[in-house]
Structure 1
Amino acid sequence: MKVSIKKISQITGFSPATVSNALNRKKGVNPVTSEKILKAAETLGYQQGKTITKIKFVTYRKNGLIIDDSQIFPAMIEGVERQAKELGYETTFCHLNYEDESFEIRLKEFLEDTNCLVILLGTEMTEEDYVPFYDYKGYLIVLDGWSDEMIFDGIMINNTDAVCNAMEYLVEKGHREIGYLRGDYRIKSFRYREYGYHRVMGRHRLVRKPEYEVTVGTKLESAYQDMKKYLEHTDRLPTAFFADNDVIAIGAMRAMKEKGIRIPEDISIVGFDDIRFGTVSTPGLTTVRVFKQEMGEVAVRRALDHIKYSGKDIKMKIQVCTQFIERDSVRQIER
């Protein structure tokens, strides 16, 4: 049975007008009263119906170490906007920059506005960054991120399985000494990708050599500089590297080429994301294609499920599959 304002009024003892004002976050309602009404409404499963007409896309920028250089997020935004428009919803945009002096003010303003369905880009967010959102009274879905507390729905890349597939490809190509170019800022996606790397190394009983697991910056320039330093202090390389993403792979490739290391003749490289730079690099970068626009579209459809199927409290973690793209940065090793 649908819960009405009248029902909440009867249970809480407050007038229907007061209940309505509290549910719509109108000023003039005593904070204690408002909290009691909102809590009762949540307990009863009250839904205000399809009054929401906007989807708000919120970009959370922790430090820019991932999203500033990446080409995948504009495509995700395009997917969100396109799907929302097709379904009759307007898209608005909000930026939360953790490094900005006005961050706390902007965050407070965001948390007080519950008139939109929110898609939060969580790529750079760590577990503690989600804490302020735990008490958000509206509906929020995280795109390219995940909270272990399962407070929100999440749309993610199937990172671990995708890397397992890429690593199996290297093994099939005859590679037994496979290194790992790991980003120094350990976002959730990178951690899941690392699981895939270690899983396949263990599955094939390949020896893990710490000197082959290289930590580099996550921007093109920092990946290049860190790889350059690494090459100055090593005499031996693996036959292949898996890189956390294409930005890291391309930065490292530049450093190796300057050192006279040929790709793929001397070393093979596999990236992740399938950004445009990888298609025009020399050689073309073998990588994992992420369906960026489709992820945005899935996020919109899942957000709108909250309206269509109200009262469902089960949280969902949806993983979007990828596609392995073979180009010219990996060679076959004859044994």
Structure 2
Amino acid sequence: MRNVGVREISRRTGFSPATVSNALNNKRGVNKDTAETIRRMAKELGYERSEHLDHIRFVLARKTGKILDEGTFHPGVIEGVERVAAQLKLQTTFTTIELSNREAAAKQAFEITHDMSNGIVLLGTEMAEEDYVLFRDPQAPLVVVDGWSDRLFFESVVTQNENSAFRAVTYLAEHGHRQIGYIAGDYRIKNFPLRERGYRRAMREAGLTIDSKWRVVVGTTVNTSYDAMKEWLSANPPLPTAFFVENDIMALGCMRAMTEQGIRIPEDVSVVGFDDLPYASVCNPPLTTARIPNREMGEIATHRLMDQIREPRDYTCVTHLSTTFVERQSVKFLQS
């Protein structure tokens, strides 16, 4: 059988690759005569949809690097992907798509999503809604990890962001904290507004006041979060008894700035993070946080790819994984 792809059929028929893809997959919107012409050419060229994968492709979609470059979340996802791929006797390959270069990203995304020999695990951490358009109507099986589209339907594996933040802030309230601030990243990935929504819901249900003076916006790297917190503290503001921080990287930078200013953690202010990155257990003090099951996310995503091959269906699922709340020494228990 010849290795014929969508681009070759497009070249032979004169129709766009998108039209060819839609016709071969019986999508609506393709003229009947056009679809018949495309299918006839595909048959003449020996085109057949692959019923097995040669490899799993892990695609890191990078927009700014402000979240991914210092994070250790995605190596855990990769480990999970590789573990299941090895069990299936499949190789794992890696591709980075720089979303800031739209033209190059669009070309890369099309080639990857129309390569029927690969199954795609797409890391969506830094992806915004407009970026998912590049991956619409994939011909290869595709699962998004740590991301989702509100307008397009993709199989996705994500974290329960809102409920996890709700539980973390409720934990603070149950241990006597009444003044709980929020440390937000200045680069707003899709996870962060959900975590803030969980914070706000927990505050409301605990009957606590959300004070805007304790919403501190910082950078999303260790150094930029440190710099922003140091600047905020320079005005000698009143402190809440606790902060919930959108992720552990920001928590580390902020804790460093607080410590340098003589603020004791947790005696003067408690801190709760999100992610449970490796350093969270060894920083000073060890950080109370919500652990994301990143390896399991990679494993589940790879199994979902195989499901798309074995049992194709005309709908997609979004799988929400819960977090594990990890209590360490960065929280002081106050009297209720």
Scaled to the shorter chain, the TM-score interval is: 0.7 to 0.9
State the match for 2:119 in structure 1. Answer: 117
State the match for 2:167 in structure 1. Answer: 165
* One of 246, 249, 258 as aligned partner of 2:248: 246
User: How far off its partner does 1:36 sit?
Assistant: 5.8
User: How far off its partner does 1:39 sit?
Assistant: 2.9
* Structure 1 segment 245-264 matched on structure 2, within 5 A: 245-264=247-266
State the match for 1:53 in structure 2. Answer: 54
TM-score by length of 1: 0.88
* Structure 1 segment 51-200 matched on structure 2, within 5 A: 51-99=52-100, 104-113=103-112, 114-115=115-116, 116-200=118-202
CA distance in 1, matches of 2:105, 2:182: 38
Structure 1 alignment gaps of length 5 or more:
1-16
Structure 2 alignment gaps of length 5 or more:
29-38, 40-47
User: How far off its partner does 1:24 sit?
Assistant: 8.2
CA distance in 2, matches of 1:317, 1:106: 25
CA distance in 2, matches of 1:279, 1:319: 25
Q: Which residue identity is paired with 1:32?
A: F
Contact 1:119–1:299 at 8 Å: present in 2 too? yes
Q: State the Cα deviation string for residues 33-79 of structure 1 (Å, max 9, x = none).
A: 87665433312899825232211110011000001111111111111
CA distance in 2, matches of 1:27, 1:88: 33
Q: Which residue identity is paired with 2:205?
A: R
Q: State the Cα deviation string for residues 249-297 of structure 1 (Å, max 9, x = none).
A: 1100000001100000000000011112111111110011111111100
Identity %: 40
* Structure 1 segment 216-295 matched on structure 2, within 5 A: 216-295=218-297
CA distance in 2, matches of 1:286, 1:256: 16
- 1:327 lines up with 2:310 in the alignment: no
C-alpha spacing 1:133/1:267, structure 2 compared with 1 (3 Å): same
Q: Secondary structure at the match of 1:327?
A: coil
Contact 1:212–1:237 at 8 Å: present in 2 too? yes
CA distance in 2, matches of 1:334, 1:106: 54
C-alpha spacing 1:99/1:32, structure 2 compared with 1 (3 Å): closer
User: How far off its partner does 1:204 sit?
Assistant: 1.4
- 1:307 lines up with 2:290 in the alignment: no
Contact 1:143–1:154 at 8 Å: present in 2 too? yes
User: How far off its partner does 1:109 sit?
Assistant: 3.4
C-alpha spacing 1:49/1:264, structure 2 compared with 1 (3 Å): same
Q: State the Cα deviation string for residues 76-124 of structure 1 (Å, max 9, x = none).
A: 1111111111122221111112345xx6235413312422111111100
